Amino acid sequence: MAEAPKAKPAAGRAGTKKELPDHFKAYKHVWVAIECEHGAVHPVSFELLCEGRKLADKRGVELAGVVMGGSEDAIAEAVAQTFEYGADVVYTVVDPVLTHYRNEPYTKAMTDLVNTYQPEILLLGATNLGRDLAGSVATTLLTGLTADCTELAIDDEGSLAATRPTFGGSLLCTIFTLNYRPQMATVRPRVMSMPERQEGKRGKVISHPLGMGEDDVVTKVLQFVADRETDKAQLPYADIVVAGGLGLRSAENFQLVKNLAAVLGAEYGGSRPLVQKGWISADRQIGQTGKTIRPKLYIAAGISGAIQHRVGVEGADLIVAINTDANAPIMDFANLAIIADAVQVLPALTEAFRKHLSVNRMAG
């Protein structure tokens, strides 16, 4: 039901007119939640700083980062980076309770900050952490939240226009929160570009207490099992991705995809049916219900390019389709195509790259 009227341009909606209540008029500045669980800042936070900078400049306001963590030491690097990637101000909440991400204390920290310092725009990464936190914060503040955005802009009246895919990416919609503050949005990783780093840039740090003790938190972290870098697919951040689909016909043939990926130093992945068939693990699924990737080069072998797959790969700089069917939907968004049997093309391609390498090695 929620989607029904969204299908039409929202006509006659009471809230379409901008009537910002007085108590919201003081809300100012653009905030970005900096995600730095376990030390390192999630790249999406930098992408958001880049986007937030543009919004803040358009509004003529400041850009602030929000850094939360367990100790000053743990967040020092994140704070520095937040400035270097563009923030004018950084709000910090530091408390041992915040060592691991948990919904309760993080929601409290963020809502207290918002209520105290009153930003007009609050951006978070559409990661598991960001989406867990954003939903709770928005519900607590009773404000609007546009999830999983792919484009942000300021409209002529100064409101945040947040554009996001809907219906599995077949459509896009632009959403506003006119009469409530802050205007909240989560943004998909790898959609916005990275800002230039301004080495050594610093600014004002404002710290705020958490006001909650460990005893107040019901949920306990018993353990954190970090993914081992080696066996974990790093698809979203890979520069080259090689993927296979049902056109490969068998699990054995999928090895050809892995072989090419190995030579190229690429990550490998596949379409959803391969996960369902058990040829690849679920974390290697690319698409709407899998990973969104933005590599420089994406090679799709035996993948038809269904809309759910398409939305996950469209951000790639260069897409190569290897498919026997010249009319497969993937041809509508690939840049280059080989109309031939992937089972024959893949080994030949692997060999071509290998050769290229040895020739250049010899020459060098």
Partner 1 sequence: MHIVVCVKQVPDSAQIRVHPVTNTIMRQGVPTIINPYDLFALEEALRLRDKFGGEVTVLTMGPPMAEDSLRKAMTFGADRAVLLTDRFFAGSDTLATSFALAEALKKIGTDFGEPSIVFTGKQTIDGDTAQVGPGIAKRLKLNQLTYVAKISDLDPDRETITVERRAEGGIQVLETRLPVLVTMLEGSNEIRRGSLEDALRAAKADVVKWSAADAGIEDLTKCGLRGSPTIVKKIFSPDPRSEKAHPIDTTDLSMDDIAQALMDELFQRQPELEGEFLRFAATQFGQEVGHG
Give me the residues that bind ligand FAD (CB under 6 A), please.
Answer: 245-247, 271-273, 285-290, 302-304, 306, 308-309, 312, 322-325, 328, 341-343
For residue 290, say whether it is annotated as part of any ligand binding site. Answer: no
For residue 340, say whether it is annotated as part of any ligand binding site. Answer: no
Residues 78 and 66: beta-carbon distance below 8 Å: no
- Sheet hosting strand 63-69, strand order edge to edge: 145-149, 183-187, 121-125, 30-34, 63-69, 89-94, 204-207
Q: Does 26 bind ligand AMP (CB under 6 A)?
A: no
Q: Does 4 bind ligand AMP (CB under 6 A)?
A: no
d(CA 194, CA 202): 19
Give which of ligand FAD, partner 1, ligand AMP, none residue 271 binds (C-beta under 5 to 8 Å, depending on kind). ligand FAD
Residues 122-151 that bind partner 1 (CB under 8 A): 127-129, 131-132, 134-136, 138-140, 142-148
Residue placing its CB nearer to partner 1 in the complex, 53 or 272: 272
Q: Does 2 bind ligand AMP (CB under 6 A)?
A: yes
Residues 277 and 302: beta-carbon distance below 8 Å: no
Secondary structure element (H or E) that encloses residue 337, with its range: strand 336-338
One residue of 90, 201, 219, 284 binding partner 1 per CB under 8 A = 219
Determine how β-strand 151-154 pairs with β-strand 160-166: antiparallel
Closest CA to 298 of 286, 308, 288: 286
Residue 200 C-beta: closest distance to partner 1, Å: 28
Residue placing its CB nearer to partner 1 in the complex, 88 or 255: 255
d(CA 22, CA 195): 35
For residue 271, say whether it is annotated as part of any ligand binding site. Answer: yes
Residue 137 C-beta: closest distance to ligand AMP, Å: 15
Residue placing its CB nearer to partner 1 in the complex, 29 or 164: 164
Residue 134 C-beta: closest distance to ligand AMP, Å: 11
For residue 272, say whether it is annotated as part of any ligand binding site. Answer: yes
Residue 238 C-beta: closest distance to ligand FAD, Å: 17
d(CA 319, CA 298): 5
Residue placing its CB nearer to partner 1 in the complex, 26 or 142: 142
Residue placing its CB nearer to ligand AMP in the complex, 3 or 19: 3
Q: How far is CA 35 from CA 55, 79, 89, 179, 184, in A?
A: 20, 11, 16, 28, 16
Residue 16 C-beta: closest distance to partner 1, Å: 6
Q: Is the peptide bond before 21 cis (omega within 30 degrees of 0)?
A: no
d(CA 287, CA 305): 10
Interface with partner 1: number of residues (CB under 8 A): 114
Which residues are annotated binding-site positions for FAD? 271-272, 285-289, 302-309, 323
